[in-house]
Amino acid sequence: MKKPIFYHAGCSVCVSAEHDIINLIGAENVEIVHLADDRNRIQDAEKAGVKSVPALVTPNGNVLHINFGASMEDVKK
Amino acid sequence: MKKPIFYHAGCSVCVSAEHDIINLIGAENVEIVHLADDRNRIQDAEKAGVKSVPALVTPNGNVLHINFGASMEDVKK
């Protein structure tokens, strides 16, 4: 099965949500992508419909925007 | 272990997020509370820090606001 992908950018809201998601679904069941470190994934995230981080893209393609850490515009700066 | 609680109010954003959360963590691992049907839980949700629905309150008390369906003010109407 395709894994959900958790996109974040290292902000405190992102890190807190990352811990919560890992606790809820297990570290082995989610791919974590840090967009500030892995900037060539920014385009994938935008294509998936991610407008802000942290966000979780489910295996069926839905985007769950979780709280609000930073907009994608800020991530791209 | 305490279960996370998913609060929603029957809006389309809520229902979609509910399906995603159940797919991700399993129906048996989350308590679903429908605030429009179960209005005496509204106070619990607000006390937990829920500002809008859908929202997931984790076992350690963090609130993950997921997308945006409706504010708690709208739920109370």
Which pLDDT tens digit goes with each residue over A14-69?
Answer: 999 999 999 999 999 999 999 999 999 999 999 999 999 999 999 999 999 999 99
B67 chain-A contacts, CB cut-off 8 A: 63-65
What is the fold of A5-65? Glutaredoxin (3.40.30)
Domain ranges of chain B: 5-65
**Parallel, antiparallel or unpaired: strands B52-57 and B63-71:** antiparallel
- Quote the pLDDT of residue B1: 64
Using one digit for the tens of pLDDT, what is the confidence trace for B2-24? Answer: 899 999 999 999 999 999 999 99
Nearest Cβ partner for B4 among A4, A24, A64: A24
pTM: 0.94
Report the gap between the CA of A64 and the closest CA in chain B (Å): 6
Q: What is the pLDDT along chain B (77 residues), one digit of tens a residue?
A: 689 999 999 999 999 999 999 999 999 999 999 999 999 999 999 999 999 999 999 999 999 999 999 999 999 98
Cβ contact A25:A4 at 8 Å:
yes
- What ipTM score was computed for the predicted complex, to two decimals? 0.92
